[in-house]
């Protein structure tokens, strides 16, 4: 972590508003894009991002300097977005009784003629419960234990929803 960022964080912990504004300015654009990726509405994404910054500033004492501030903040933003989605009564069903399906990382290979935008559009059209897991896994790089913690679902459910989302995604991209 750079000295400047470290100083901004220390001053922000002391409720220094100028330092908090500088932190906001440094990270707001990236956090907005993350928020927008989940909420798909500019105003809701801005609200969620600002709520996340407020939560972050109020809980800066929990930030450990051995972790990346950006990663710590990103997790707060994603959790805030997921909370907003859950308030819209998003269905997340426990799949404990379903058989566990083994994932093969080679399953993510798509036809080279399909571009990134087509893949993202296809992800956006998935059922929300699959979409969240696919985004957290594929776009954000979280593993199943982290996804399980973020979505408050069992690890087996995360794996199953990823597998089903992947199959649905593959079918969408074939057409």
CA dist., res. 56 & res. 49, Å (int): 10
**Are residue 54 and residue 113 in the same domain, yes or no?**
no
Q: Do residue 57 and residue 31 come from a single domain?
A: yes
Instruction: Tell me: do 17 and 80 sit in the same domain.
Output: yes
User: Is residue 24 in a domain?
Assistant: yes
Claim to verify: residue 110 and residue 156 sit in the same structural domain: yes
3-state secondary structure of 53: helix
Q: Are residues 56 and 28 in the same domain?
A: yes
Distance of CA 2 to the CA centre of its chain: 25
Q: Report the domain count for the chain.
A: 2
Tally of CA atoms within 13 A in the half-sphere of 52 that contains its CB: 31
| Domain end marker among 28, 52, 87 | 87
Residue at which a domain ends, from 87, 120, 150: 87
- Helix boundaries (H) for the chain: 3-13, 17-39, 42-58, 69-87, 116-124, 128-134, 144-151, 155-174
pLDDT exceeds cutoff 60 at 108: no
Model-wide pTM > 0.75:
no
Q: Which domain holds residue 45?
A: 3-87
Q: Is residue 93 part of a domain?
A: no
Find the mean pLDDT for residues 45-66: 92
Q: What is the DSSP string of 75-120?
A: HHHHHHHHHHHHHTT------TTSPP----GGGG---TTS-HHHHH
Who contacts 107 (Cβ-Cβ below 8 Å, separation ≥6)? 166, 170
Percentage of residues in the chain having pLDDT higher than 90: 43
Any idea which residue has 């776009």 for tokens? Answer: 139
Rg (CA), the chain: 18
* pLDDT at residue 159, rounded to an integer: 92
Q: Are residues 26 and 69 in the same domain?
A: yes
pLDDT tens per residue, range 122-163: 888 888 889 899 989 988 888 999 898 888 899 999 999 999
Let me know whether 77 and 109 are in one domain: no
Q: Are residues 13 and 82 in the same domain?
A: yes
Q: Of residues 79 and 173, which shows the higher confidence score?
A: 79
Residue 69: exposure state from Cβ atoms within 10 A (0-12, 13-18, ≥19): buried
């Amino acid at each position: 972590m750079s000295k400047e960022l470290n100083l901004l964080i220390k001053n922000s912990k002391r409720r220094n508003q100028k330092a908090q504004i500088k932190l906001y300015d440094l990270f707001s654009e990236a956090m907005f894009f993350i928020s927008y990726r989940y909420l798909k509405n500019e105003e809701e994404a801005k609200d969620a991002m600002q709520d996340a910054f407020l939560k972050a500033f109020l809980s800066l004492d929990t930030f450990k300097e051995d972790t990346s501030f950006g990663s710590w903040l990103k997790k707060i933003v994603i959790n805030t977005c997921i909370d907003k989605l859950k308030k819209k009564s998003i269905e997340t069903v426990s799949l404990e009784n379903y058989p566990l399906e083994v994932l093969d990382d080679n399953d993510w290979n798509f036809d080279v003629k399909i571009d990134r935008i087509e893949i993202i559009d296809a992800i956006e059209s998935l059922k929300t419960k699959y979409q969240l897991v696919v985004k957290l896994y594929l776009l954000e790089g979280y593993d199943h234990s982290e996804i399980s913690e973020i979505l408050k679902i069992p690890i087996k459910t995360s794996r199953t929803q990823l597998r089903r989302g992947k199959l649905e995604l593959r079918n969408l991209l074939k057409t």
